[in-house]
Amino acid sequence: MFTATERPRTAGEWVQFAVAMLLVAAMFYPTVWMVLSAFKNNREIFRTPFALPSVWRWENFAEAWKLGNLGTLYLNSLFVTSAAVTLCVGCATAAAFAFARLEFPGRRVAYRVMLLGLLLPPPTVAIPLFTQLRDMGLLNTPWALILPGAAWSLSLTVFLMRSYFNTTRTDMEEAAKIDGANTFQIFWWISVPMVWPAVLTMIVLNTINIWNELLFALLFIVDEDKRTLPVGLIRFYGYHNTDYSLVFAALTITTIPILLLYFILQRHVIAGLTATTMD
C-alpha cells in the first residue's frame, strides 16, 4: 500500500483520477442538491437551484417531521425491521447448520424447496398473501410485514449461510461432540460463534432490504400511523408535492441517517449487499 502511494502518479493516473472525481461528483450531486434545497424556501429552489441557501431554514425540518409524522414512521420501520431480521437470521442460521452439518430425513428435498424462493419475485404472491393475511387477522398489523418479510428473506440467507458453513472446518464441533456435548450445545456454543462474521453480514443485508421494502408495506398496511418509512415518504410526496422545500426536508431526514450509517459501516454493508454474487 505504502509503496503505491509513495511512487509519484503518472500523467495517465492523474487523468484517471480526474475523470473518476468528475463522475463520482456528478453521481453524488443530486444528494447534495437535495440537502441544500431542504434548507431553502420554494422561491429559492426555483430561482437559484445551484446556490447555497440565503438563510439556513432549520425550521423546514421541524415542520416536515411534524406534518409527516416522521417520528412514528421511524419507530414503525425500526420495529418491523428489527423483528423481521432477528426472525429471519435466527431461523436461517439454525436451518443452514442443519442442512450443512446434520443428517435427517428429507434434508435434500427441504433444502431444494427453500432455494425455490430465489427464483420467485415477491410480486407473484402479493395478492394471495393479502387475502391470507386478512383471513389470519394480521392485515394492518406489524406482523403482516414481519412474517412475510422474514419468510421472503429466508431463501437467500439460508443459501449464503450454508455456503459459509461449508467453507468452515468441523474439527471444533467434532471435538465438542466427543466431549459429550449435545447437538444444540454444539450449535449454540461452537458453530454460531464460528460463523458470526457471516451472521453479521446477513444482518446487514436483510436490514437494508427489509428497511427499504415497499410492495408489501404498501398493500398490507392501511392505517397512516402504522406505515413504514418508504410508504410514508411516497404518501408525503403525494400530499405535499407542490411544497418542494417540505418534501426535500422529509427526504433529507429519512435518507441522511441511513447514508451516515452506511459510511460508518461501509465495509460490512458492501459485503452484505454483494454477498449474493460470492462464488
Partner 1 sequence: MAGRPVEDRTQPLSSGAVNLLFAAPALVLFGCFVLLPVSSAFFYAFTHWDGYTAPRWAGFANFERAFTDTTHLMSYVHVVLYILGTLVFEVALGLGVAVLLNSERRGFSLLRGFYFSPMVLSMSAAGVLWAFVLDYRSGLLNSLLKALGAGDLAQPWLSQPSTALVAIMVVSGWKFSGFYMVIFFAALRRIPSSIYEAAILDGAGPFRRFFSITLPLLRQNVMVAMLLAITGGFAGFDLFFTMTNGGPFGATEVPATWIMKTAFDKNQLSYGVALTVVLAVVVMAISLVYLRFSERLNVHRY
Site for partner 1 in 235-264 (CB under 8 A): 237, 244, 247-248, 251, 254-255, 258-259, 262-263
Considering the rule CB under 8 A, would residue 128 count as an interface residue with partner 1? Answer: yes
For the segment 57-86, give every residue that binds partner 1 (CB under 8 A).
none
Q: Nearer Cβ to partner 1, position 85 or 229?
A: 229
Q: Is 180 in the site for partner 1 (CB under 8 A)?
A: no
Among 129, 202, 205, 246, indicate the residue that binds partner 1 (CB under 8 A): 129
- The C-alpha angle with vertex 215 and arms to 214 and 218, in degrees rounded to 5, equals 80
Binders of partner 1: how many residues, by CB under 8 A?
A: 107
DSSP letters of 155-174?
HHHHHHHHHHHHHS--HHHH
What distance in Å separates the CA atoms of residue 221 and residue 219, rounded to the nearest whole number? Answer: 6
Is 154 an interacting residue with respect to partner 1 (CB under 8 A)? yes
**In terms of Cα–Cα distance, which of 79, 82, 104 is closest to 94?**
104
Within 10 angstroms of residue 82's Cβ, the number of other Cβ atoms is: 15
Tell me the one-letter amino acid at 248: F
Backbone angles phi, psi at 42, to 5 degrees: -60, -40
**150 contributes a contact to partner 1 by CB under 8 A:** yes
Q: Which residue has the cell 435427517?
A: 104
CA distance 203 to 209: 10
Instruction: Single out the residue of 55, 112, 123, 223 in contact with partner 1 (rule: CB under 8 A).
Output: 123
Stretch that binds partner 1, among 60-68, 171-179, 195-203 (CB under 8 A): 171-179
**CA 188, chain centre distance (Å):** 26
Tell me which of 72, 74, 170, 189 binds partner 1, using CB under 8 A: 170
Residue 9 interacting with partner 1 (CB under 8 A): yes
Q: According to CB under 8 A, which one of 58, 71, 90, 222 is a site residue for partner 1?
A: 90
